[in-house]
Amino acid sequence: MPEHNFTSVCKTTDVPPNGVKNVNLNGLEIAIFNTKDGFIAHSGVCKHNAFKLELCEIAGDMITCPLHGWKYRISTGKGIKPSWTCLDTYPLKVIEGNILIKPLADESNKDTFDTSAYDW
Ligand code: FES
């Protein structure tokens, strides 16, 4: 995809330090994290059952969904509990205080959730 497919979704000041804010990009829910290493964008809902990540608890590099305890590493999007799941990660740029996101080339499986195979 060409660079012009990046879209401004919010200001850097909209995302608190060590915090997360969900944005909606053309129907796509995306979570913007403001980490000590910079901003990072992942899919905005828990892979278990679509709970918004901006309502989850952050502790260091880990975010925990309060509904059933699924955990993800913020820096990578990889699942901690369960380890086989993973958040999608989106290309992100910061330009003049604006956060820009580019949708992934294949969004065909973005809203699929497997609620039958999780562990506790
Ligand atoms: S919806 Fe997140 S753990 Fe169930």
What is the C-alpha to C-alpha distance for residues 119 and 55, in angstroms, rounded to an integer?
A: 22
- Residue 44 lies in domain: 3-101
Nearest CA among 38, 35, 33 for reference residue 20: 33
Return the percentage of the chain with pLDDT > 70, whole number: 85
In a domain, 117, yes or no: no
Alpha carbon distances (Å) from 57 to 12, 64, 72, 104: 20, 5, 11, 26
- Global pTM value: 0.86
**Residue 92 alpha carbon to ligand 1 centre in Å:** 25
Which atom of ligand 1 is the closest one to the Cα of 56? 2
In a domain, 26, yes or no: yes
Instruction: Report the number of distinct structural domains present in the chain.
Output: 1
Return the percentage of the chain with pLDDT > 90, whole number: 81
**Residue 56 alpha carbon to ligand 1 centre in Å:** 10
In a domain, 69, yes or no: yes
Which atom of ligand 1 is the closest one to the Cα of 51? 1
The per-residue pLDDT for 4 is 74
In a domain, 120, yes or no: no
Write the CATH number for 24.
2.102.10.10
